[in-house]
Amino acid sequence: MIGLITQFANELLEPAGRPHFVFEDDAGRVVLRPGILVMVNDTDWEFLGDTTEDKYAHVLQDNDTVQFITTLHGG
C-alpha cells in the first residue's frame, strides 16, 4: 500500500491538493491524512492489519481495487 500511496501522491495529485490528502511522517514516508477512508476490494483497510504498519505494508494483488474516499466536507 505504501507504494501505491506514494505513487498516487507524487504522480496524480496536483501540488496544491497534496497537503489535503497526504503528508510525510517522521520517517519521511508519504502517509494519508486522517479523514481519508481507504477501501481495498470494497473492504475498509482497517481490516488489513492490527497496526498502521500492517496496513501500509499490505501487498496488493493483481486485480485488487483501491478507493480513497474523503470523509471531510465543507459547510
Whose CA is closest to 30, among 54, 4, 55?
4
Q: What is the pLDDT along the chain (75 residues), one digit of tens a residue?
A: 989 998 988 888 888 888 888 898 898 888 998 889 999 999 999 999 888 888 889 999 999 999 999 887 764
Domain that residue 64 falls in: 2-70
From CA 57, how far away is CA 24, in angstroms rounded? 16
Find the radius of gyration of the CA atoms of the chain.
12
In this structure, how many other beta carbons lie within 10 angstroms of the beta carbon of residue 4? 16
pLDDT at position 64 is 96
The verdict on residue 56 lying in a domain is: yes
Q: Is residue 48 part of a domain?
A: yes
So what's the pLDDT on residue 74?
62
In a domain, 75, yes or no: no
Q: State how many domains the chain has.
A: 1
